[in-house]
């Protein structure tokens, strides 16, 4: 397993079924960076509790709302027009790269927030996944299960 959250996220996201599950969960209101962080912490054996969940949310929510979401909205808004306009498509690709960098920065911030939390506490992976997804408008339990299975192989 990758020791840093960014590498873990890239490796996990590349696994079969993970991208689709993440996108389903994202469309239901789950913050995918927070979800990947919870998955990473659960696999590392870090115990989940409400204080830790709230600490991660306080890092993720403002950054997501003020940085990631506006970039994603612009990229999405330009999707159809960019198919017909090469210059706009080039700009859209730059926005897409900025969105990815914003997500990388968020993952780094989440990792930094959790850096002193003990590992190997026999943490509960399902508690992390349920905890980070708890505020979703529409939670796709099948996608959450698929993500857990793809990431852990169980």
Confidence of residue 146 (pLDDT cuts 50, 70, 90): confident
Does residue 147 register a pLDDT over 50? yes
Cα distances (Å, whole numbers) of residue 85 to 81, 88, 90, 92, 95: 6, 5, 9, 10, 15
Strand, helix or coil for residue 23? helix
> Which parts of 1-154 fold into alpha helices (H)?
5-13, 18-27, 32-44, 50-63, 69-77, 79-82, 86-114, 125-133, 141-152
What mean pLDDT do residues 4-27 have?
A: 92
Cα distances (Å, whole numbers) of residue 127 to 33, 39, 45, 99: 16, 10, 11, 28
Digit-coded pLDDT (tens) for 47-73: 999 999 999 999 999 999 999 999 999
The rounded distance, in Å, linking the Cα atoms of 109 and 127 is: 21
Domain ranges of the chain: 5-152
Q: How far apart are the first and last CA of the chain?
A: 15
**Residue 113 contacts residue 34 (beta carbons within 8 Å):** no
Digit-coded pLDDT (tens) for 90-134: 999 999 999 999 999 999 999 999 999 999 887 688 899 999 988
**Residue 35 contacts residue 25 (beta carbons within 8 Å):** yes
Confidence of residue 3 (pLDDT cuts 50, 70, 90): confident
The rounded distance, in Å, linking the Cα atoms of 98 and 108 is: 15
Does residue 1 register a pLDDT over 60? no
């Amino acid at each position: 397993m990758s020791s840093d959250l960014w590498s873990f996220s890239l490796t996990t996201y590349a696994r079969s079924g993970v991208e689709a599950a993440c996108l389903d969960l994202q469309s239901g209101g789950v913050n995918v960076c927070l979800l990947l962080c919870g998955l990473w912490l659960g696999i590392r054996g870090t115990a989940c509790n409400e204080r830790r969940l709230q600490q991660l949310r306080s890092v993720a929510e403002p950054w997501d709302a003020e940085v990631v979401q506006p970039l994603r909205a612009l990229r999405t808004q330009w999707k159809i027009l960019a198919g017909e306009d090469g210059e706009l498509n080039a700009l859209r690709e730059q926005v897409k790269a900025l969105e990815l960098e914003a997500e990388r920065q968020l993952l780094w911030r989440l990792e930094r927030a959790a850096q002193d939390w003990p590992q190997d506490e026999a943490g509960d992976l399902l508690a992390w996944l349920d905890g980070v997804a708890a505020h979703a408008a529409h939670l796709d339990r099948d996608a959450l299960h698929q993500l857990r299975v793809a990431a852990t192989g169980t």
